[in-house]
Chains A and B, each alone.
Chain A
Amino acid sequence: NAGVTQTPKFQVLKTGQSMTLQCAQDMNHEYMSWYRQDPGMGLRLIHYSVGAGITDQGEVPNGYNVSRSTTEDFPLRLLSAAPSQTSVYFCASTLGGVGGELFFGEGSRLTVL
């Protein structure tokens, strides 16, 4: 069972570069989300989607864009990377919306120089 798949696992960028973190799930979950995890700050919600064609902002959306053209895929785009975006990024999906079990990918570690 693949579950939630994130790519790449590691990435180094220079300030100002752009990139896309890919996320795909094969569980037919409507709800998908992106979090960033920084030391001592837990997981913070960046953007989320309740279904194809619908996205909304989370707690820390600035500097990131998302789209949801299919149920399976939910890419996260960094428009112009900044050192403050150095973090570990997790994609998650759930069948049950708020309060439902979140299934996470293995994470993508991003370093911005």
Chain B
Amino acid sequence: TQLLEQSPQFLSIQEGENLTVYCNSSSVFSSLQWYRQEPGEGPVLLVTVVTGGEVKKLKRLTFQFGDARKDSSLHITAAQPGDTGLYLCAGAFGNEKLTFGTGTRLTIIP
């Protein structure tokens, strides 16, 4: 089983601040996804990245895929209380089954 490490595990910041969370592996991803999960609900897909160096933006969220396709980051600008949740990365390694990271639990304080 491939391992995905997410950091930090917990993050609590004030509304309006910027933040970055990370997803790392020692192996090369064929693709990587970011999901957000709110309490009592299932995860919801935010983005899929496939190409090394790829950058995708979703409003205030910026996703970057590392050049070597072994890591990814999620940057949130001007965080809002609605951004609170558990952020999960999930990587596909070749044709193997999707592997999920342990998640970053983000709390935005109004």
Contact = CB atoms under 8 A, between A and B. Distances in A.
Interface of A: 4, 35, 40-45, 48, 58-59, 90, 92, 98-99, 101-102, 104-107
Contact of B42 (A41, A45, A92, A101): A92
A106 B100 contact: no
Contacts of A59: 1, 97
A106 B102 CA distance: 19
Contact of A98 (B9, B40, B95, B101): B95
A1 to B, nearest CB: 14
Interface of B: 1, 4, 9, 30-31, 33, 35, 40-45, 48, 88, 90, 92, 95-98, 100-103
A47 to B, nearest CB: 11
Give the secondary structure class of B's interface.
Answer: loop
Top 8 A-B pairs, shortest CB-CB distance: A104-B42, A43-B100, A42-B100, A99-B92, A42-B102, A99-B31, A101-B45, A98-B92
Given A42-B88, A104-B43, A98 B97 contact: yes
Given A43-B90, A92-B42, A104-B44, 13 more contacts: A4-B42, A35-B100, A42-B102, A43-B88, A98-B95, A99-B31, A101-B48, A102-B98, A104-B42, A105-B42, A106-B41, A106-B42, A107-B40
